[in-house]
A and B are shown apart, each in its own frame.
Chain A
Amino acid sequence: MEPLVQFFYILLPFLRDWPEWLALTVIGIVAALLMFGFVAIFALFAIWLERKVSAHMQDRIGPMEVGGWHGWAQTIADTIKLLVKEDIVPENADRILFKLAPAIVFTAALAGFAVLPWTQDFIPADLNVGLLYILSVSSFAVIGILMGGWASNNKWSLYGAMRSASQMVSYEIPVALALLAVVMNAGTLSMRHLVMAQSGNILDWNVFNFFPLTAVAFIIYFVASLAEVNRTPFDLPEGESELVGGFHTEYSGMRFAFFFLGEYANMYVVSAIATTVFLGGWLPPFEFLSFIPGPIWFVGKAMTMVFIQMWLRWTLPRLRVDQLMYTCWKVLTPFSFAIILLIGLWKVI
């Protein structure tokens, strides 16, 4: 927590005069609220953006009414609608698990934010195993999804949940291996140090390191991360024309909103990992651009990745289950192993 605490001490000098336990508690709470606020605002914005992006790709204009300028308040209105909706729990559902599932999915997504390095000084928790931590907590979401699918007592939900579990667990492997290719070079798992190892200009970013090996690793990571967050072309867990709504078929109102929030938060988390590990995190592409603050670069790069995810969603059909597994086990995993091997050889020679 060191950099964060220092950041707050510089920002608010009076905290130094407080007893340490109080100051740390306040800083922790404030940081957590900041993260939650960011997730909520980001999700509202991303859902609006997704609707706009899809609309323009489909020769439509999307929301235009609520709020005035291009319907910017549409998702806020939708959230309020979801909040006041009747809370429906199916009669034969497992009530406890049913209510717990959205919370777990959302918590897993939110926990990932703890180690994202927004800038050199602002990183909520600078763990020395940050990357490992983020990979572990993001796979935690599987439990929530399985729980929701099982507790709904609906066959479609269960099918969606099972698919989701197999898909997310399988795609963990290429994700981890692709990241390992970079970690091998940087020699650290700390998110902060991973970024600092890339300082310089755009060619020092990991994606251009060992060209084209890490570039391929980046592509592998990106494809696999799409599957991690259940986005098209890997949106089988909620494939509408097959499984109605997948694991959240029976969910409505605020519980559904939390699944939705979790999905968009996850989109940001995987994009932020890609930014941190491959695209130089908060660093500007060229030295003379360094007057622009780090968080803007970080959020900007991550948002670009989020936009690419949306772009793919509206231009690609869905894969079938067997093709999904084929892509993972016969394409992505062997290729990432090969890249690790080649980078290892490169470093030795």
Chain B
Amino acid sequence: MSAILQEKETTLYLGPQHPGITGNMMIELKVTGDTIRKATTHVGYLHRGFEKLMEERLWMQCFPIVCRICVPEPDPNEENLARAIEELEGREVPERAKYIRVMMLELSRMATYLLWMGGQSGSAGLYTMPQWTVGDRDYIIDLFEELTGGRVYHMYIWPGGVRRDLPEGFEGRVRKVLDYLEQRLTDYDRLLFENAIFLRRAQGVGILDKDMAMEWGVVGPPLRGCGIAHDVRKDEPYEVYDQLDWEVITHEGSDVYSRAMVRRKEFEQSISIVRQVLDKMPSGPVHNPGPNPLKWRVPAGEAYVKTESARGEFGYYVVSDGSLKPRRVHVRGPAYVHGVSLLERMLVGANIADTSFIMNSLGTCPPEIER
């Protein structure tokens, strides 16, 4: 009897509209019983052709485009494009602007991790956590709104520095939010990270082999969750990360739980990094102005820059032919590796119930896959 049932294979279409999928993408599952035999991802529901679009835009017009590549965390993209252009132009960035950039990047990392915590526990059926974390994320978003005018898309980091200086008393408000979030982490621990059922669901599930992770180009928390200390902020420090006191966080185990713990500890570390930045922030200008954006020609050449985003290493390859528009902007994001090739491999042999659990732990971001 069981042999007959074993052979019967069913096709399930997870998405593009499914409550367990982050964003619009579809996973075609071939299952026998509750076990997945084959997974095929179908992407393209969000294709907007950003890379091509940028070839037809002025350099300055590219900034509102790049920040939409990955919706929950626009800042690493702005940072990448700004640094690539600065490298091509050889433009200096004032010291204060560098500190403000680090503060922005770390705040955006925290906001993304809060969103991820909600997604991860939501995919396990615990809906209190998303309400808490998304609510707490709003305090960070409020800070962004005050600083940049935009809640989600900031267009704040641009070549030569940042768009405007910190408002009066901003530092105190950032510290207040950090204190609140730090104290809130105990609640998160009690509800999710130390929850016995969550541990049972997460430990030993979605194992990512260390060698496979290296071979497939896995980056960010999934790689650090395999115990490999790789972080662009440490390996090739940009801005002022080399002047701050922090460690690369790793966790042995290679499963969903270790990836969750890496993110949870990095959240704590981001709080400390922002505090250090606020302590050390020098005074001075925040922007080194360039030419009129309408007549702005970037010298011919090419540059490759990398930023550590909340999902992992984000690389931008920018080519200029000396004209008003970029010749080519190529984005190397983590989500393509994590969300397409790796996910297909990792889902084989997993339980249907773990599909969105594993997907969330890898930090898949469908808009970024199809930038």
Contact = CB atoms under 8 A, between A and B. Distances in A.
Given A315-B128, A315-B191, A320 B19 contact: no
Nearest to B199: A317
Interface stretch (A56-64, A189-197, A329-337): A56-64
Contacts of A91: none
Interface residues of B, number: 31
Interface string A315-331: 11111111100000000
Contact of A59 (B123, B127, B132): B132
A199 interface: no
A321 B197 contact: no
Choose among B12, B128, B135 the residue with the greatest number of A CB atoms under 10 Å from its CB. Answer: B128
A319 B198 CA distance: 8
A240 B125 contact: yes
A239 interface: yes
A233 B197 contact: yes
Interface stretch (B56-64, B319-327, B348-356): B348-356
A314 B128 contact: yes
Interface string B189-202: 00110010110110
A59 B356 contact: no
Nearest to A319: B197
Contacts of A321: 34, 351, 353
B353 A236 contact: yes
A159 B352 contact: yes
Nearest to B11: A155
Contacts of B355: 242
Contact of A57 (B12, B18, B124, B128): B128
A317 B351 contact: no
A317 B131 CA distance: 14
B20 interface: yes
A111 interface: no
A314 B132 CA distance: 12
Contact of B20 (A235, A240, A320, A322): A240
B229 to A, nearest CB: 30
B125 A232 contact: yes
A211 B127 CA distance: 36
A242 B353 CA distance: 5
B125 to A, nearest CB: 3
A85 to B, nearest CB: 20
B367 to A, nearest CB: 20
B352 A317 contact: no
Interface string B1-42: 000000000101000001110000000000000100000000
B20 A241 contact: yes
B121 interface: yes
B80 to A, nearest CB: 32
B131 A59 contact: yes
Contacts of A318: 124-126, 197, 201, 353
B122 interface: yes
A252 interface: no
A241 B125 contact: yes
A54 interface: yes
A317 B125 CA distance: 5
Nearest to B17: A244
Interface string B347-371: 0000111111100000000000000
Contacts of B123: 241
Interface string A85-124: 0000000000000000000000000000000000000000
A59 B131 CA distance: 8
Contacts of B192: 317
B200 A241 contact: no
A241 B131 contact: no
A322 B125 contact: no
Contacts of B357: 241
Given A58-B132, A233-B197, A241-B356, A314 B127 contact: yes
Contact of B125 (A155, A235, A323): A235
Interface in A128-158: 155-156
A316 B352 CA distance: 20
Given A240-B19, A317-B124, A322-B351, 13 more contacts: A60-B131, A156-B12, A236-B353, A239-B353, A241-B20, A241-B124, A241-B356, A242-B20, A242-B356, A244-B19, A315-B128, A317-B195, A318-B124
Interface of A: 54, 57-60, 155-156, 159, 232-233, 235-236, 239-242, 244, 314-323
A-B interface, 7 closest residue pairs, ranked by CB to CB distance from nearest: A318-B125, A241-B20, A58-B131, A317-B124, A317-B126, A241-B123, A242-B353
18 contacts: A57-B128, A58-B127, A156-B12, A233-B125, A233-B197, A236-B353, A241-B20, A241-B125, A241-B357, A242-B20, A242-B352, A244-B19, A316-B197, A317-B192, A317-B198, A318-B126, A318-B201, A319-B197
